[in-house]
Amino acid sequence: MYNNYIIAQEKEYIVQSALSEHIIYSIKIEHLYGDPEEYIGVTIVSNGNKGASLRKRWNEHVRTAKTLKKNWKLSKAIRKYGKYAFDFEILEVVKDKQKAHKIERCI
C-alpha cells in the first residue's frame, strides 16, 4: 500500500514537471581576447519565481564544479574563472518540458 502511494506521488511529480514552466537560459563569460563562451541550459520554474529558480540552478552548477571535479566545459570554466565571472540571461520560458529541451538543443 505504501509503495503504491509513493508511485502515485512520483507519477504526479512527473506530470506536474512536464506541465510546469521551464526556463531556457544562457550562461556566458566574456574573455578579454577571443569569443565569449556560452552554455545553454534548461531548468524548471519553482514556486513561480524565475529568478530564484535560475539562481538555484546556478548554485547547483557551482557545487558540481567544486565537488565532483567533472571535466565538463562549464565546470572547468567555473573552477578557472570563479563563479562571479559569468553573466546570465533568460532566453525563453515555455510550459512544455519536451519543447524546452528541443529549443535548448537548437540554440
Does the pLDDT of residue 4 top 80, yes or no? no
pTM of the model: 0.76
Candidates 17, 36, 18, 34; CA nearest to 26 is 36
Q: What is the DSSP string of 58-104?
A: HHHHHHHHHHT----HHHHHHHHH-GGG-EEEEEEEES-HHHHHHHH
pLDDT digit string, tens, across residues 40-81: 999 999 888 999 999 999 999 999 999 998 899 999 999 999
Candidates 105, 95, 99, 85; CA nearest to 41 is 105
Grid cell in block for residue 13 = 511529480
Report the alpha-carbon distance of residue 58 to residue 23 in Å, rounded.
12
